Amino acid sequence: MRLILALIFVCAAGSAVAETLVAVRTLRAQTILVPEDLTVIAGSVPGTASDPTEVIGLETRVAIYQGRPIRPADLGPPAIVDRNQSVVLSYVAGPLTITAEGRALARGGVGDRIKVMNVASRTTVTGIVAADGSVRVMAGS
């Protein structure tokens, strides 16, 4: 019985030290997070970030209002491709690689899936933004 009470006490004490990150000011969409944008409050809110090092440098995908918890789902890598930007569009199928000029139809960061229009054919395809700013379309996409 004492062991069960001790476990309950430890679990209850452990949840009291949980922390949640909240916005210090209203953050517009497309804001790159810096340490001054965040503060830590006591308590745990499910689905929110607790470690500042995990979110600093990420970009907000939506507006986050002052005092609201920071949710990882509302953040992403900083965009390196803007809407209407010219990009190199590459199609890869095994050893075959075809490149073309494309126009981004959305903003995106490394690893994001965005739609791109092939300028020559006017065909719209979906691809993944690469670190160099090109967009890669895989066979079957």
Q: Are residues 36 and 66 in the same domain?
A: yes
Domain tally for the chain?
2
What amino acid occupies position 81? Answer: V
> Could you tell me the CATH number of the domain that includes residue 131?
2.30.30.760
Domain of residue 36, CATH code? 3.90.1210.10
Examine the domain organization and report whether 67 and 14 are in the same domain. Answer: yes
Q: What is the pLDDT of residue 17?
A: 62
pLDDT digits (tens, 9 = 90+) for 21-80: 999 999 999 999 999 999 999 988 899 999 999 999 999 999 999 999 999 999 988 999
The verdict on 127 and 103 lying in the same domain is: yes
What tokens appear for 31 in the block?
């804001």
Same structural domain, 64 and 96: no
Amino acid at 39: T
Concatenate the DSSP letters of all residues of 41-78 into one string: EES--TT----HHHHTT-EESS-B-TTPBPPGGGEEPP
Residue 44 confidence (pLDDT): 86
Among positive and negative, which fits the CA dihedral 123, 103, 32, 66? negative
Question: What is the domain extent for residue 132?
Answer: 79-138
Q: How far apart are CA 101 and CA 115, in angstroms?
A: 13
pLDDT in tens, 77-101: 899 999 999 999 999 888 998 999 9
Regarding whether 67 and 27 lie in a shared domain, the answer is yes
Same domain, 86 and 59: no
Q: What is the pLDDT of residue 140?
A: 61
Do residue 9 and residue 67 come from a single domain?
A: yes
Radius of gyration of the chain, Cα coordinates, nearest whole angstrom: 21
Amino acid identity at 117: M
Looking at the fold, whether 8 and 67 belong to one and the same domain comes out as yes
Same domain, 91 and 32: no
